[in-house]
Amino acid sequence: MAPSQENDSSHGRLQASEINGQETTVQVIIIGGGLSGLQAAHDLQEAGLSCLLLEARDRVGGKLWSVPLSPGQKYVELGGAWTNDVNQPKVTALIKKLGLEMVKQNIVGDCILEDHGRFLYGSDPPLSEADKTAFAEVRNRVEALCHTVTVADFGQSLAEYGHMSMDELAICMGASDIVRRLVNIWTAAMLGVESNQVSAIFFLHYCQTGGGLLQMRSDDTGGGQHLRFRHGSQSLCHGLQRGLKPNTVVCSAPVQQIEQDPNTGCLVITRDGRRFRAERIISTVPSIFLNHITFSPSLSADKIWLSTHSKLGFYAKVFLIYSEPWWRKRGLCGLAQGLNGPVSLTRDASSDEDGLFALICFIVGQTGREWAQKDQHERLTEVIVHVDRIYGSNIPRPLETREQIWNEEEFSQGAPCPVVPASCLRSLSQDQWRPEGYIHFAGTETSTVWKGYMEGALVAGSRAAKEVIDIFSTS
């Protein structure tokens, strides 16, 4: 039975208009009601500390957003969708605790590479022998290299690869034109940026946090895209929220100003002028949005540089919902790579038990930015035409569609994780997201494991909460 999304979203939540009058005072204020902030709040309250979570949106979840196609069933994931139960222990434990039902990502059947043809999932794409050799060389060398790029020591890696984009690294490894285009699908699908717009060292580091390129890209057991949530990944957030004390979460409360004072602690002021005081703050705000908040005193030069120079790639999803999984009848698993149109990737997004049969189309990177400038009807038409071109003739029309352009969402503005330039990585490795005065930092981008994923968000939330708990326990 599907969890009640309505009940989940209202439990423990206080709308902005319900808090009036004087300053609200707690021991810890958490900024951001995604997985990281909710996990931090859970850990703090379990340790006996009082906290308040301020969320800018009118809902919890951040970039997890599960929308039902009909009341209580058939959820489509507008945001983060995948996890696994092999090497993501915090997500796995939370799923078990909340009793959530999971769906295995379908990998039975062939994949398609546009203009090149079909190939069995897990095998090499149908390229010429020379291109197959070049692709294997690039893939294997990137896989090996990403395991050498650790947060603790960027020095040697920066010296060797810090000046290169991911495209330039692929060229140095002997990539042909088609191999470069496949590498570009990696960076666009994972980070929303073109391979010539992302530092090789950052991409290698990003893959390293998820156990390597092959593990991050895999839909099989232990891979980054192995399991989906039958009733939506946002149910993780609703479950955490249900476990908090009433009125812990304040929605529709974007933070505008943070003041730190050694005598009076921290003052947080929201956009509409409400004031909150605490001894400590945990910020889960993505680094690129830190410069949207006025800090007094100012953040360190490293954090300001990071906020100013990092960027979010372009990320959009379009769901095509059908009466049946017609691709399976053709011996296809639903995974396809597009080369000449807006769709970079498709995946099977079905939940057979609920009668939901859908393909999810990823529109990412520069082609996505150009596609997003068109009107909604033209955008959808281009997606359907491109899917027809990838999959072939006699494809049924979708019964229903859903579109989500994350760059147009005020408090997200793009892909799951900011892209950090090589110039920031050395200071970031030394900084390790250390606290700034009374402010601690969380969010999936601050994690050393599964950066950009749900696991990374939970790990970071617990790490920041522990920093705060340790301080209170010794004071």
Q: Is 409 annotated as a binding residue?
A: no
Q: State yes or no: 55 annotated in a binding site.
A: yes
Is 423 labelled as part of a ligand binding site? no
- 138 annotated as a binding-site residue: no
Q: Find all residues with CB under 8 Å of 23, minimum gap 6, and list them.
A: 267, 275, 276, 277
Radius of gyration of the chain (CA): 22
User: How far apart, in Å, do the first and last CA atoms of the chain sit?
Assistant: 46
CB 210 within 8 A of CB 450: yes
The Cα 109–Cα 257 span in angstroms is: 53
Q: CB of 228 within 8 A of CB of 101? A: no
Residue 36, marked binder? yes
Query: Is the peptide bond preceding residue 297 cis, with omega within 30 degrees of 0?
Result: yes
Q: b/e string for 238-261 if b means 16 or more Cβ within 10 A?
A: bbbbebbeeebbbbbbbbeebbbe
**Residues with Cβ within 8 Å of residue 231, at least 6 apart in sequence:** 2, 3, 66, 73, 75, 100, 101
Residue 96, exposed/middle/buried by CB under 10 A (0-12, 13-18, 19+)? exposed
CB 226 within 8 A of CB 449: no
Is 467 annotated as belonging to a binding site?
no
Beta strands 227-229 and 66-70: pairing type?
Answer: unpaired
Give the CA distances from residue 19 to residues 8, 37, 255, 278, 313, in Å, rounded to whole numbers and listed in that order: 20, 20, 15, 16, 36
Q: Which helix (H) or strand (E) holds 38?
A: helix 35-46
CA distance 226 to 224: 6
CB 315 within 8 A of CB 414: yes
**In Å, how far from its chain's centre is CA 473?**
33
What's CA 446's distance to the chain center, in Å? 12
Three-state secondary-structure class, residue 364: strand
- Enumerate the known binding-site residues: 36, 55-56, 255, 362, 445
- Enumerate the known binding-site residues for FAD: 36, 55-56, 255, 445
- Enumerate the known binding-site residues for substrate: 362
